[in-house]
Structure 1
């Protein structure tokens, strides 16, 4: 095998490995927790009611592309500006922001905390930051 072919084979293999690790760090969503230990569930209604979606992985600067997934009131709606309650299923805090890009009023859910009615971001939630407790945020 020529040196060029050996180099090409190694480069392709390394690129595939980088893509696998990069995808593991990306944010995910579904009908249950998945990923690296961070897991936040949004519910369409107060008291953890209605349709729900679980988020995990990396921070999410804009919730616009995420939807409520389970059966119930709100199924199919965008998460952005439609979540009334949330639950943190991880040993790390999670902070929900009023605006995209982690700005504005916020609610922080400590490890394993429930917010049966979000305080500062009730139906006005645009971004999520994992493993972060925002200063000036309402604390659950």
Structure 2
């Protein structure tokens, strides 16, 4: 009986360890230590007010042709602009348009941030989340640093 009990305990321990290793983490963390809240179904992009993915953050899903108009919040009075919303951080409440310094691509697609509205002008692109190669899926904007007006996802393959 003791042997059976010991075997059962060992088996349960192995099963528990297997599930612990296989289970995804409760919340991914960006390089500045903030928890990821943009990863809904792998479509999000996080725009940050400061360089090095820091400061206030705005999570946006899908393509946006002009950050000056948040089509998801339109009323009979019009559409408000996208604004930074991470509480208590530098840039909170500021408009996203022409105020982004860095980006974190939580999606499974390439994200391109454009200088102009309607996906025009110079752009910065970031590969899909988790990409392992010469480019990272997050970082500072260069061609569109504080001059960003729109972004578009490009599906792979």
TM-score range, shorter chain: 0.5 to 0.7
Q: Note if 1:119 corresponds to 2:142.
A: yes
Distance (Å, rounded) in 1 between the aligned partners of 2:107 and 2:95: 23
Identify unmatched segments of 5+ residues in structure 1: 1-30, 134-140
Alignment map for 1:38-57 (pairs within 5 Å): 38-57=43-62
Aligned residues: 101
Q: Give me the whole-angstrom Cα distance separating, in 1, the residues matched to 2:125 and 2:155.
A: 8
CA–CA separation in structure 2 for the residues paired with 1:82 and 1:44: 6
Say whether the 8 Å CA contact 2:114–2:149 is kept in structure 1. Answer: yes
Query: Runs of 4+ in structure 1 displaced over 3 angstroms?
Result: none
Matches within 5 A, 1:1-140: 32-33=37-38, 35-57=40-62, 59-64=63-68, 65-71=81-87, 72-112=89-129, 113-115=137-139, 117-131=140-154
Shift of 1:130: 1.1
Structure 2 length-normalised TM: 0.60
TM-score by length of 1: 0.67
Aligned alpha-carbon RMSD (Å): 1.7
Partner-residue secondary structure (3-state), 1:63: coil
Unaligned runs of 5+ in 2: 1-35, 69-80, 130-136
